Amino acid sequence: MSQTSLLLERLGALIQQSVRDDATRHGLQPIHIQVLHYLVRANRYSDLPIAIAEYFGITRGTVSQTLAVLERRGLLTKEPDARHGKRVHLKLTRAGESVLSESWVERVEQALCERDVEATALESTLRNLLAAMQRVNGQRAFGLCRQCAHFLTEENGARCGLTNEPLATEQTVRICREWAAVTEECV
Ligand code: SF4
């Protein structure tokens, strides 16, 4: 095993431990914290139960149970989609957002900041590694909207080339289940 694999294994284990600690502090399970973190970053095509199942590789039954707990605890709400009959969008409540304050994510960001890490280079390396692993495992990439092959910049803002719908600025910095990598043919 290379040093890189060992380091990633240790980091993964430490992050899992931190998620467990965050969950315990709020009387929740780790998957509850992970789903809240996911939803706060997901765009409007991805704040759906099916997208959660895909992102975490878990069953729809497990997603339903998880959402039921979060809803009962007042940490998220379900908002009907105005255009798609049965579809519901999952939104964090204020209480849900406050669960995420002082979480493991902030501790990682602080550690990166204190060590003056070249964030862009590290992010690029990790993204490439993740994409390679996702291809091997046949998983969707869930990339950032602004970096998608379907992302179109227009005079008055942005548009999704896949759905042909306009994109609010705050949606363009979120992750999406429909994301596609920019290939040389797209450039
Ligand atoms: S441009 Fe890509 S990432 Fe953005 S909403 Fe459309 S499909 Fe999703």
pLDDT at 88: 94
What's the pLDDT tens digit per position in 141-186? Answer: 999 999 999 999 998 899 999 999 999 999 999 999 999 988 766 5
In whole angstroms, give the CA distance from residue 107 to residue 182.
32
Kindly report, residue by residue over 78-101, the tens digit of the pLDDT: 999 988 888 999 999 999 999 999
92 CA distance to ligand 1 middle (Å): 21
- Ligand 1 neighbour 142 (Cβ under 6 A): no
> Whole-prediction pTM value?
0.90
Residues 6+ apart with CB under 8 A from 41: 174, 175
Q: What is the pLDDT of residue 111?
A: 87
At residue 114, the pLDDT reads: 86
Between residues 55 and 84, the one the model is more confident about: 55
**Domain range summary for the chain, segments of one domain joined by +:** 3-104
Q: Which pLDDT score, from 0 to 100, does residue 185 have?
A: 62
Topology of 3-104 in CATH?
Arc Repressor Mutant, subunit A (1.10.10)
Give helix then strand counts, H and E, for the chain: 7, 5
* Residue 174 to residue 52: CA distance in whole angstroms: 14
Give yes or no for residue 179 CB within 6 A of ligand 1: yes
Cβ contact 165:176 at 8 Å = no
